[in-house]
Structure 1
Amino acid sequence: MRIVIAGGHGKIALRLERLLAERGDSPVGLIRNPDHADDVRAAGAEPVVIDLEDTTATRLTEKVMGADAVVFAAGAGPGSGAARKTTVDRDAAALLADAASLAGVRRYVMVSAIAADEGPPPGSDPVFAAYIEAKRAADDDLRGRSLETDWTILRPGRLTDDPGTGRVRLAPKVERGEVTRQDVAAVVAAVIDEPATIGQVLELVGGPTPIDEAMASVRNRP
């Protein structure tokens, strides 16, 4: 499958690209900075340069045309202010959905944030609060596109760079916790081509259950 990943140079995206390439898919990493192209190629993906904060749905449609799925794994990143949480984490996610719809690409996997529907915890730093609000708005937008989009929203807990364990907790609601970026990438790879996850919001943290068993529990959930 040809899978287009927004935020193609991010820590989750590079891990995902490598996993997809290893299993025989054709990942495409959308990147803003052309200097990151070699890293994307090294992960086994095709780099495509486009700035999601400075483009149109029409231009982005050209980049996702022919894809079997899109993944939104972009983020404004640490050190960015509240305004970029809106332009990247919210607006770029919606722009990708617009472009996917125009290109006839139904499958969309969103990497969001745990408990986004609850909003930011009381007393949150203003930038973190803006991040959670942006994620909540992006998720709401995607959930409103069910007629045109086969969406899945994956909401990982606090991300770490520890080695992946291959074991997680995956359900519509889990207790807050940590999860490795490697395990998030592995779950995204599994979710992409799992029809049972379409129309589901799933939270993800580290846990005791092998990823394939966690996916089986999603398939078997009433």
Structure 2
Amino acid sequence: MEDLDTQPIFKPKYIPIKIMYWGPGEVGKTTNFECLKRKFATKLVSKGISIETTDKRTLWCDSVTFEFQFPSINCVVQAIVSTTTGQERFLATREYVLENADGAVFVADSDPKKMASNCRSFEELKSFSQKSQIPIYILLNKRDLPNAISINEFVTQMGLPTQNPTKLLKIPYESTANDTKNPGDVSRIFSDLLVEVLRRKLT
């Protein structure tokens, strides 16, 4: 998503895009959020907001806006990135925050003991987004766990496709978002989803 040297002749078109980060509690959604803010710090439009409980867990959402220029197609993308709370007691807020989203990143936990929570949260996301039919990309976080689930087992238990006909996307993407030096696919999944949403809006 680097800026191209070509300068647009006409005033660029501004395209708003909303991307949600969804997943069970304490899976690393906010950690991904903070990682994106560091990676694309020069693209930040605002400092963002985080609404937390007293124990530093997401109460409502985290939200920030980035601005990316695509001179080759003469448009500027204003990307609003938000996370939902993963706590079960705040279920009602998740559906509300998802409203008007153009795409979602589902963040899953690599701990085999958390697979039931992963599956439940994923089904919830699919149910809430059924009408809008938004693209959902899957990020398997916490790959540094000593007992991390294998990719094959994760794909099987989540009921994900075992074949990727385009071979352009990873199923799933992998990350260790709390590793500031090597976070894995944190920025890649965001960039890929942003481009896919933009493609859909322009076709």
Structure 1 residue runs without a partner (length 5+): 114-124, 145-150, 164-179, 199-222
Aligned residue in 2 for 1:155: 173
Q: For residues 85 and 32 of structure 1, what CA distance do their matches in structure 2 show?
A: 25
Aligned residue in 1 for 2:102: 68
Quote how far apart the aligned CAs of 1:97 are.
1.9
Question: Residues 10 and 73 of structure 1 are in contact (CA less than 8 Å); yes or no, is this contact kept in structure 2?
Answer: no
Aligned residue in 2 for 1:189: 190
Say if 2:56 is the partner of 1:35: yes
Greater alpha carbon shift after TM alignment, 1-10 vs 13-22 = 13-22
Quote how far apart the aligned CAs of 1:86 are.
1.7
Q: For residues 137 and 47 of structure 1, what CA distance do their matches in structure 2 show?
A: 24
Aligned residue in 2 for 1:95: 124
**2:130 match: secondary structure:** helix
Q: For residues 115 and 51 of structure 2, what CA distance do their matches in structure 1 show?
A: 18
Matches within 5 A, 1:123-202: 128-129=148-149, 133-138=153-158, 140-141=159-160, 143=161, 153-156=171-174, 161=179, 163=181, 180-181=182-183, 183-195=184-196
Aligned residue in 2 for 1:2: 18
User: Based on CA coordinates, which of the two structures has the bigger radius of gyration?
Assistant: 2
Quote how far apart the aligned CAs of 1:67 are.
0.7
Bigger RCO of structures 1 and 2 (CA < 8 A, at least 6 apart)? 2
Percent of residue pairs identical: 11
Q: For residues 60 and 90 of structure 1, what CA distance do their matches in structure 2 show?
A: 16
Structure 2 residue runs without a partner (length 5+): 1-16, 67-80, 163-168
Quote how far apart the aligned CAs of 1:31 are.
8.1
Q: Kindly report the root-mean-square deviation, in angstroms, between the aligned alpha carbons of the 2 structures.
A: 4.8
Aligned residue in 1 for 2:72: none
Higher helix proportion (structure 1 or 2): 1
Quote how far apart the aligned CAs of 1:134 are.
4.3
Aligned residue in 1 for 2:140: 112
Quote how far apart the aligned CAs of 1:155 are.
3.0
Aligned residues: 152
Q: For residues 126 and 45 of structure 2, what CA distance do their matches in structure 1 show?
A: 21
Q: For residues 89 and 150 of structure 2, what CA distance do their matches in structure 1 show?
A: 20
